[in-house]
Structures are given as structure tokens and as C-alpha cells.
Amino acid sequence: MKKFNTILLIDDDQATNEYHEIIINLAGVANNIHSVTSGQEGLDYLTSKGNYNGQEDSYPQPDLIFLDINMPAMNGFEFMIEYDKLDASQKGRHIVVMLTSSLNPDDKARAADNNNIKDFMDKPLSKAMVLELREKFLP
């Protein structure tokens, strides 16, 4: 069974991150899960050099990013503006999935306009949703 090497969770609610980690672990679709509580922390993580995937002086390049829309200071769309500016070596294999509790149809349309956002889902994540993403992106 194929797995995502690393999944990055970006949500200002730590309890939501913890719940999503449990769901991802139950689904067994990731080797590693990293969570942050702001868009800026997400950007800091993506641009941090270290020993990732067994390579010295490399960027983490998670395979999948779950991104909340409504966050203080930097919302999900503002994060994507900065994400789009990153060097390709910092974006790498990223598949961005926006997660939201928003009922605003404009959010879905706005997400569809960004080529780096591959899916748009309602919170909370479920095991079925995570397995569906694995089938879609790791056939």
C-alpha cells in the first residue's frame, strides 16, 4: 500500500490538527505527519533546510498539505499567495488540499482558480476522505 511520505497540517486550532493526525494515522496513509498552527509557521517549515528524507541540506517537501482557510494573521488564501512565490525546490511534490468549515461558495471558487490547490474539502477529515486522496494522488 502506497503512503505519502510526509503530510503537513496547517490549522490554527491545535485540537483540529490533533484530531486530523489521529484520522491520518488510522487510515495508515502517511509515514510522517507535521502540524503547525499558522500560515507563517507553514511557510517557515517549507523553507527550512535540514536532513529530510535522508538527504542533508534539503527542504522537507511534504507530499500533501492540508490547509485551513480561516486563520488569523495569514489565512489560507494569503498563505497560497506566499506559497506560489516559493522556489520549486521548496514546493516539490506538494498537493495542497484546502480544508474548511466555511459555507461561502466564493471560497471554493477562489480555491479552484489556484492551480496549486488540488482539492477542497469540508472539515473535519474522515478516514474515507484521506483514503480517497491516497487513491487519487498515489494510484
Domain boundaries, the chain: 4-137
Specify the CATH architecture of the domain 4-137: 3-Layer(aba) Sandwich (3.40)
| Phi and psi angles of residue 39, each rounded to the nearest 5 degrees, phi first | -60, -40
Express each pLDDT in 31-50 by its tens digit. 999 999 999 999 999 999 88
Q: H or E segment at 106?
A: helix 105-112
pLDDT value for 96:
92
Q: Is pLDDT of 76 > 90?
A: yes
Q: CA-CA distances (angstroms) from residue 83 to 8, 43, 104, 132?
A: 13, 7, 23, 25
Rounded to two decimals, what is the model's pTM? 0.92
Q: Is pLDDT of 83 > 90?
A: yes
